[in-house]
Amino acid sequence: MQIDLPTLYYLTVGTLLVAVAMTVWERQAHPRRARELGIWAGAYLAFAAGCLVAMNRAHFPGFAGWGVANLLFVTGYLMVLHGVARLDGRVGLRLPAALLALLGLLWLTLGVRYPQAFWVYVASAPIALASGLTARALLRSRTARNLRSRPVVVAIAAGHGVFYLARALLAPILVAAYGEALLPLFGKITMYEGVLYSVAMPMGLIALVREEAQADALAASRTDYLTGLSNRHGFFEEGARLLRDRAPDRPAALLAFDLDHFKSINDRHGHAAGDGVLRLFADTARRIAGPDALVARLGGEEFAALLPGLDIAAARRTGEEIARRFAVAAAQGEGPGIAATVSVGLAAARPGLDDLSVLLSAADRALYRAKAGGRNRLEVAAAA
């Protein structure tokens, strides 16, 4: 079936307007990314306007139709790039503005003298550059790093850029060899690829936003709201994975914490002050345990820290340092300014004791001994 060039233009405009509607609708469900989605919707509008101008460029005076259409297309690609950059908080507009200004200047100089050659060949280069920069920004994005759809969107942007780069480099060679009769074919191939891009890129970007929102919701379900630590669910899920994936000869230890006389703190000073004490302990434990540790609030005034790579001696030093630093910070008026201490139980993983639930039970028994022994101390679980 033969499809003529105007039909492909109309098809592209239609798919772009559908992409605008889908993206604007998606903004309601993702207010955090409303700005980025709005930028991408504006990009698709710029693409559609560029197609309409390109279809009717003969009605514009001189080269104006060619230049305006190309500037609209490049503006759209730069808006896609800007929206992707904003995912990580980057909002620099100097490069897009400089590229548009340079392109406008080229149209006013070279484009006036060679409008058809500039439209067919040279104008593809900034599109290839903007698409390549979009793929690069996604590859380097911290936000999109773990999202399943990122490789797909990178492939779409990179493939689109390679297509336009090939058009800019190969089209002049092929036309010189086989004549200008190839130009309508190049136009059809370009618009057919444009239809695919106008479907795939909006769907890919929406998928990124949806997956990010899903990941945030999942992280929130595993996070304690008050302290920002993992909650019980997150601790058992991630802790089991850490123990399961560690090398057989790599040590691991678990610290169980319970704040001393915490009910009395709440009764005497109020729950707001008690929350301040909990946050002070969480900050202290997270800082001392280090980035490799999994620190969690298990409920109430109970906390735990899984320490991969630490043997029992190193874990004991870490637990004692957390207890000491917390007591000093509380006594010196940090947090709500209420004196507080913590009791600690320690259990080390070993053959036959590498199940997280069993390890936590052993650490809890040691913790009870620390409580019974006078509190504000650390006890080690007895070897099986």
| DSSP letters spanning 53-88 | HHHTGGGSSTTHHHHHHHHHHHHHHHHHHHHHHHTT
> If DSSP codes are grouped into helix, strand and coil, which group holds residue 345?
strand
174 vs 355: which has the higher pLDDT: 355
Q: What is the average per-residue pLDDT within 297-321?
A: 95
**pLDDT, tens digit (0-9, with 9 covering 90-100), for 38-67:** 999 999 999 999 999 989 988 888 777 778
Contacts of residue 84, Cβ cutoff 8 Å, sequence gap at least 6: 36, 134, 137, 138, 141, 205
Domain boundaries along the sequence of the chain: 5-221, 232-380
* CATH class of residue range 232-380: alpha beta
**pLDDT, tens digit (0-9, with 9 covering 90-100), for 167-216:** 888 877 877 777 777 777 877 888 889 999 999 999 999 999 999 999 99
Q: Angle of helix 64-86 relative to helix 124-140, nearest 10 degrees?
A: 0
Instruction: State which amino acid sits at residue 350.
Output: R
Distance, C-alpha 241 to centroid of its chain: 22
Query: Cα torsion at 350, 356, 359, 363 (round to 10°)?
Result: 140
Using pLDDT thresholds of 50, 70 and 90, give the confidence band for residue 263: very high
Using pLDDT thresholds of 50, 70 and 90, give the confidence band for residue 125: confident
- Report pLDDT for 119: 66
- Report pLDDT for 245: 84
- Report pLDDT for 112: 65
Nearest to 340 by CA among 284, 295, 256: 284
Specify the CATH number for 5-221; select among 1.20.1070, 1.10.287, 3.30.1490, 1.10.10.
Answer: 1.20.1070
